[in-house]
Amino acid sequence: MGFVDDRGTLLHVVRDGAAGPVVLFVQGLAGAWFEWDPVVAMLSGEYRLVRFDRPGLGWSQQEGGTRSPAPQTLVGEAERLGRVLDGVGVAPEEPVVLVAHSYGAFHAEAFARLHPERVAGVVFVDPSVEPDVTPAPGGRGGSMGQAAVRAAQLLGLNQVLGPAVRRLVYRAASTTRRDPDPETARAVYRSSRVARAVVNELACYRAAAVALLELRCELPFPEVLVQVLVGAAGAADGGRAAAWLERQNAFAGLFPGAEVVELADAKHLIAADRPDAVATAVRSLGF
């Protein structure tokens, strides 16, 4: 465990494995480094694994001062991936495998389009897919959310609400409901700093999705191997799960030769439900 100075913001970084190709993990919205613990345990003997927390999340400092976090941008977060790699000593001429979950897939895809020479392959883990998103009208959602976080902090509610929301997410989005590190999760998600970062990511999500659609029109995706893992529990019964599977297959069509792996025993939190599938997908890229 250590920290990388990212233009004045200390980012928490965890490295595992001493030899082999580099794998950079990018977690989903509000996620922390330990989400990948079950996968790391299966790969650390074969790869050099890098995990980090975006500003304000996990053990990373908040970017933009102590009151309100700096708004995220798609390109800004994509470029941050490169600076993290630089900070841990991965040379630009050494391509890496990206493993990205949910919202983190936006950043990973953008990085691959902006810096194709730095990418050896990509594993998308139940990625966020927003093919029809449009720019949002002006509003105060972000500032209102931050005000609510400050009020909760003053009342001491964040120490209860954060861990409680975390537990609800795992109950709803995992078949096993197995949090990889409940004790660390309680320590992390009781923090008002983390709550501010979560609200910030929620407020910036739509703009990032729009920016990615625009980037797809401007820059090609590199000719690398791609795996798309989909949490398909319940898809056979139709409804929302089946529609989600259809959207994931359409997403995979953006990348010629991409393989879709449907996991009938997993929901959105695949790293918790089927870490072996993530590890297998990394190995299948041939690095």
Digitized pLDDT (tens) for each residue of the chain, 287 residues in all: 799 999 999 999 999 998 999 999 999 999 999 999 999 999 999 999 999 999 999 999 999 876 789 999 999 999 999 999 999 999 999 999 999 999 999 999 999 999 999 999 999 999 999 988 888 765 455 555 555 445 445 445 567 889 999 999 999 999 999 999 999 999 999 999 999 999 999 999 999 999 999 999 999 999 999 999 999 998 888 889 999 999 999 999 999 999 999 999 999 999 999 999 999 999 999 88
Residues with Cβ < 8 Å from 249, sequence gap 6 or more? 230, 260
| pLDDT for res 65 | 72
**Cα gap 114→116, rounded to integer Å:** 6
Determine how many CB atoms are found less than 10 A away from the CB of residue 36.
27
Give the architecture (CATH level 2) of 2-137+205-284.
3-Layer(aba) Sandwich (3.40)
Q: Of 129, 127, 130, 126, which is closest to residue 231 (Cα–Cα)?
A: 126
CA distances to 11, 55, 162 from 157, in Å: 26, 22, 8
